[in-house]
Structure 1
Amino acid sequence: MNNRKKIPMRKCVVSQEMKPKKELVRIVRSKEGEVSIDLTGKKSGRGAYLAKDKEIILSAKKRNILSRHLDVAIEDSLYDELIQLVDKEKQQL
């Protein structure tokens, strides 16, 4: 029997690379229009995935990619929060 578990893959909206879901962070827009970081990957709403890379996050901010994918204005504080999250993860490694 094949005991290997299937690894869910998702595409980064900036780099267009397929990566394992655990290597990406999900940004979700709820029905009310609230945008938040979804660390569990299970919140309901429209989602977009970003690679856990500072350059990718800055590129998404510069090119306004998240607001196009989620059809809502994205505040700068969300990008700052994403960068802090990525920095914290790199320190733990």
Structure 2
Amino acid sequence: MKKRKIPMRKDIVTGEMAPKKELVRIVRDADGNVSIDETGKKSGRGAYISINVDIARKAKAQHTFEKVFATKLTDDFYDDLIAYVDHKQARKELFENGK
């Protein structure tokens, strides 16, 4: 059986490459709105971050997405991102341990 290629993306906070499924995509659309792309298919400029709460907090402290997307973001965006990553991390740990 032929082995499938695993798409790799770079975490913009740590600079490490990881499989796309292990990252969260943040997207800026044509209107300049920045949001969490839960499906990974929204149109616009995307950037990825690992499913790790510590890395999400580091992104907030360094205002990483403001630099990447050249736009001003509120703390509410980063708080939502941290909550989303925390939820995804908990689900990942729950289902990996259940195998």
**Count of residue pairs the alignment pairs up:** 92
Where does residue 19 of structure 2 map in the other structure? 20
For 2:21 and 2:41, the matched residues in 1 are separated by 12
Deviates more, 1:78-87 or 1:9-18: 78-87
Write out the 4+ residue segments of structure 1 that deviate beyond 4 Å after TM superposition.
none
Where does residue 42 of structure 2 map in the other structure? 43
Per-residue CA deviation, residues 49-89 of structure 1 (Å, 9 max, x unaligned), is 11111111111111111111011112211211122122222
For 2:90 and 2:57, the matched residues in 1 are separated by 19
For 2:89 and 2:18, the matched residues in 1 are separated by 18
Where does residue 97 of structure 2 map in the other structure? none
Deviates more, 1:37-46 or 1:16-25: 37-46
Report the Cα offset of residue 42 of structure 1: 1.2
CA RMSD, aligned part only?
1.2
Question: Structure 1 vs Structure 2: percent identity of aligned residues?
Answer: 49
Deviates more, 1:64-73 or 1:75-84: 75-84
| Contact preservation (8 Å) 2:22, 2:51 | yes
Where does residue 57 of structure 1 map in the other structure? 56
TM-score (norm 2): 0.85
Secondary structure, aligned partner of 2:14:
coil
